[in-house]
Amino acid sequence: MKDCLFCKIAKGEIPAKILHQDDRIVAFDDINPQALYHKIIIPRKHIATVNDLHAEDADLVGQMVLSAANLAKELNIAEPGYRLVMNCNPGGGQTVYHIHIHLLGGRQMAWPPG
Ligand code: 5GP
Ligand code: ZN
- How does DSSP assign 58-100, residue by residue? HHHHHHHHHHHHHHHHHTT-TTT-EEEE---HHHHT--SSS--
Domain span at residue 18 reads: 5-105
Examine residue 87 and state whether it is found in any structural domain, yes or no: yes
Supply the pTM of this predicted model: 0.98
- Residue among 87, 102, 100 nearest 42 (CA): 100
Any idea what the Cα angle at residue 31 is, between residues 111 and 113, rounded to 5°?
A: 10
| pLDDT single digits (tens) 6-54 | 999 999 999 999 999 999 999 999 999 999 999 999 999 999 999 999 9
Report the domain count for the chain.
1
Examine residue 114 and state whether it is found in any structural domain, yes or no: no
Q: Could you tell me the CATH number of the domain that includes residue 9?
A: 3.30.428.10
| 101 Cα: distance to centroid of ligand 1 (angstroms) | 11
Examine residue 32 and state whether it is found in any structural domain, yes or no: yes
| pLDDT single digits (tens) 46-67 | 999 999 999 999 999 999 999 9
**Residue whose CA lies nearest to ligand 1 atom number 4:** 94
**Residue whose CA lies nearest to ligand 1 atom number 16:** 31
Q: Which atom of ligand 1 is nearest to the CA of 93?
A: 2
Cα–Cα distance measured from residue 48 to residue 8, given in angstroms and rounded to the nearest whole number: 14
Examine residue 113 and state whether it is found in any structural domain, yes or no: no
Instruction: Read off the DSSP letter of residue 10.
Output: H
- Residue among 25, 79, 92 nearest 57 (CA): 25
Say which ligand is closest to the CA of 13.
1
Contact 10, 27 (CB under 8 A): no
**Residue whose CA lies nearest to ligand 1 atom number 24:** 31
